[in-house]
Structure 1
Amino acid sequence: MKTISLAALVASPIAILLLSGCTNVGALAFRKPSSTEPPQQLTESVAAHRPQAKDIQVTEHTETFVSTPSARESYQPALVTLGRGEDLQAKVNEATGPVLLDFYADWCGPCKVQSRILHDLEQEAANRGTLIIKVNIDDHPEIARSLQVEGIPTLIMIRDGQIANRQSGVANKSELTEWMR
């Protein structure tokens, strides 16, 4: 009777784990009894109720989110906003292709229209290797002055370190696509 009760006691957690979806019973850890040698009945009972390898179907577990660095090239966004204190010249120098500067302000209505157009062009810019940098004139008035930005929105295309195109006012999608060629 003791053997049956002990077997039921040991088998119950295993059955619960199997029914709840834990199929890797071999990964279970059992606490050792306080004596150095486990009782023979307990060892036999656990061994008798442990599923055999042929009874367990082990599936390869893959994670959805990778937490280790990938060997692939890191993602470079095609549209970024220059933050306060960031260096525009450094961003332009780091770019591997042309750079489109968008001078704007949060309070400017036409700037919001231009922003939507630029967001629509983000994939096209990525495909063509163009980096779009949004520069808030309220956060960076010295940059706007140095590039003689007098009205907003103002767009400036920089290619090979030189200003290739410049426009004040809203530029349409087809015009900006042409600039990226």
Structure 2
Amino acid sequence: MAYKSFLSERGLGGRLFSSSLITMTVICAAIFCMQAGCRSSDVSNAALADAEMPMPDQNAPEAVASERPSYAQSNDGPTNADNKNIQLASARLNQSSDEANRVAPSSKLVTLRTLGAEDNFQQIVSDAPGVVLVDFYADWCGPCRKQGKVLHGLESFAAQNNAQIIKVDVDQHKAIAKQFAVASLPTLVVIKNGKVVDQKVGLTSESRLRSMLQ
């Protein structure tokens, strides 16, 4: 009886010990799974965060287009539009010649000049003994600055040919620019004997300028 009682007690204790061990194992496994799940969730969230990119602003306003005249490409030959502008400018120039002739002429010929606010353009053209090359430009025009450097280099050549170069700022002399139908810069107009004989839009080569001044 005592032996059976001992076995019974050992059996009960063993079952209690086994039950406790199983319970502890289940608890540890649950804790481990919970921690692993949290780490996996954190990694997944971090990966998603790295993969997301902010959407571009689809409503961003486009750049405002410049209202300045466009720069024409260099073209050595006159176009139909150029010929039409030459005819219109010649007619307008002839209409103003009578008024210019009533003003006393200048006594000194200036080979290259920038038309001032008080200068009489029609009078200068009327008094010119030879070819007048009018350079329509603007301070904000990059090609105009390049064209101006070439024209300054031809000042002596113009003097030898009794020609004049007149630079006209289109922002300061809008009426004159309109008279010659200037739409792009730089624009060159050649006047001879009171009539427009040539008109060129865009950067012009030095050789072409020399031919204009002769």
TM-score under structure 1 length normalisation: 0.58
- Alignment of 1:146 with 2:179, yes or no, is yes
Match of residue 168, structure 2, among 118, 135, 143: 135
- Alignment of 1:101 with 2:101, yes or no, is no
Match of residue 125, structure 2, among 92, 101, 122: 92
Separation in 2 of the partners of 1:85 and 1:107?
Answer: 22
- Alignment of 1:125 with 2:158, yes or no, is yes
Separation in 2 of the partners of 1:101 and 1:124?
Answer: 16
Q: 1:155 to 1:83 in 2, by over 3 A?
A: same
Q: What pairs with 1:23-172 in structure 2 (closer than 5 Å)?
A: 76-172=109-205
**Unaligned stretches of 5+ residues in structure 2:** 1-106
What residue identity is the alignment partner of 2:151? L
How far is the alpha carbon of 1:104 from its aligned partner? 0.2
Amino-acid identity (%)? 42
SS at match of 2:183: coil
Runs of 4+ off more than 6 Å: none
What residue identity is the alignment partner of 2:204? A
Whichever structure has more helix as a proportion of its residues is 2
Q: Relative to structure 2, which stretch is displaced further, 105-114 or 171-180?
A: 171-180
Separation in 2 of the partners of 1:75 and 1:143?
Answer: 23
How far is the alpha carbon of 1:177 from its aligned partner? 0.6
How far is the alpha carbon of 1:179 from its aligned partner? 1.5
Separation in 2 of the partners of 1:89 and 1:76?
Answer: 15
**Unaligned stretches of 5+ residues in structure 1:** 1-73
How far is the alpha carbon of 1:95 from its aligned partner? 1.1
SS at match of 1:139: coil
SS at match of 1:112: helix
Separation in 2 of the partners of 1:89 and 1:77?
Answer: 15
Separation in 2 of the partners of 1:77 and 1:164?
Answer: 21
TM-score under structure 2 length normalisation: 0.49
